[in-house]
Copies of this chain bind each other. A is one copy, B any other.
């Protein structure tokens, strides 16, 4: 799993083997079974997490009990509640494994140490967060401006295997429609 992390980091920054060996000492590997929680709302998000294998989702639950999905995180992605992680405040998010997952966890003190000792990681996380911001801005504008059908098509373009890996009602939640609307969209697209 560390090799995969090393490969992903190397796509963005150059670090020496020695620097990576140091970085490795700051991560905690964790196996998380399907349906198990990495974070439950009301708790502080004390880790930011690299997904080595598997799939997770982060979501809120509104007053009516509806789940609203912020993110799906697959192999090679990071997941966490950035605000809670940075401020130590209780999180509004729950993070759940949708498949058996292999994770690398890093606490805030270790993350601070990593940035201090290997400043190239400032660049790595800046680029990571920057790409996340671009994707989130795009999703926000799409939510405001394009139809549910177009949002569904964009989701399939970004995650071609999502229909095989994520239950339909979660996909519906992610694009902001009811399960019935998604089902109708899928029928229309299959017959069109």
Interface residues of A, Cβ cutoff 8 Å to B: 60, 62, 66, 68, 70, 82-83, 86, 115, 119, 122-123, 125-126, 129-130, 132-134, 136-141, 143-146, 176
Chain B residue nearest to A130 in the complex (CB): B129
Closest 4 CB pairs of A and B: A126-B126, A122-B122, A133-B133, A140-B140
Determine whether the beta carbon of B70 is less than 8 Å from that of A141.
yes
Inter-chain contacts of A139 with B (CB < 8 A): 140
Chain B residue nearest to A67 in the complex (CB): B145
CA–CA, A60 and B146, complex, Å = 12
Contacts A122-B123, A134-B83 given; does A60 touch B140 at CB 8 Å:
no
Chain B residue nearest to A60 in the complex (CB): B141
Chain B residue nearest to A173 in the complex (CB): B144
Inter-chain contacts of A133 with B (CB < 8 A): 82, 129, 132-133, 136
CA–CA, A66 and B115, complex, Å = 43
Determine whether the beta carbon of B145 is less than 8 Å from that of A143.
no
Which single member of B86, B134, B136, B145 contacts A62 (CB below 8 Å)?
A: B145
Contacts A70-B140, A125-B126, A141-B68 given; does A82 touch B115 at CB 8 Å:
no
CA–CA, A126 and B122, complex, Å = 7
A-B contact pairs, 5 of them (CB 8 A): A68-B144, A70-B140, A129-B129, A129-B130, A133-B133
CA–CA, A125 and B146, complex, Å = 31
Which single member of B62, B86, B119, B176 contacts A130 (CB below 8 Å)?
A: B86
- A182 CB to closest chain B CB (Å) equals 15
Inter-chain contacts of A144 with B (CB < 8 A): 68, 143, 176
